[in-house]
Amino acid sequence: MKIKILHSLPNQILILTSQLIRIKIKNNENEKKTYVPPIIIDQATNTKALLSEFNQLTGTLITGRCMGGKLKIFPTTAEAHRAIRRFVDQNKLKAHTYEPPEEKQLKTVIRGLPSDFPIQDIDAELKRYGFSPVYIAPLKHRNFNSNPLFLVILPKNEASKNNL
């Protein structure tokens, strides 16, 4: 197979092979594509009108797929994801999604404490070490309670990452 480069620009190359002509776009090394999780709307009615409303709301092309009475929406940017979630909440549509990576919080588990250890003491001790916990709760075991665990959710910031 013979390959011939016809034309080259800073971010794209036009490649001619014996079978086809295609344009290959080079991604910048420092530009990283961010993952935007899909939004699933349960019991969606009139999906075409809903998708066109999302397109007008975000100003970008929003694609969706119907599967078993549910509409799975694929936003292209994080801003579009937030706008669609806000619209879903305002119109009280039944939907679910995953947290975008930039909104995720750090979840840690503390073990080795007695099951009746007060949560206020854990909170005070974590604050003494420079953490600012958002949520602290004991985890319940279904079958046994020999090793109690405590879930601690911390905000995702540099101070929390550096202290861990």
Can you tell me which residue has the tokens 């929003």? 62
pTM score of the predicted model: 0.55
Residues of the chain with pLDDT > 70, as a percent, come to 74
Q: Which runs of consecutive H residues, i.e. helices, occur in 46-144? A: 47-58, 78-90, 119-128
98's tokens:
């995953």
- The full set of domain ranges for the chain reads 39-97, 106-160
Closest CA to 145 of 116, 109, 115: 115
Say if strands 63-67 and 106-111 run parallel, antiparallel, or are unpaired: unpaired
Higher pLDDT, 127 or 8: 127
Give the confidence band of 93 by pLDDT, cuts at 50, 70, 90. confident
Residue 135 host element (H or E):
strand 135-139
Q: Is the confidence at residue 140, as pLDDT, over 60?
A: yes
Under DSSP, the state recorded for 13 is: E
| Cβ count within 10 A of residue 88 | 19
What CATH number matches the domain at 106-160, 1.10.260, 1.20.120, 1.10.3470, 3.30.70? 3.30.70
| Cβ count within 10 A of residue 154 | 21
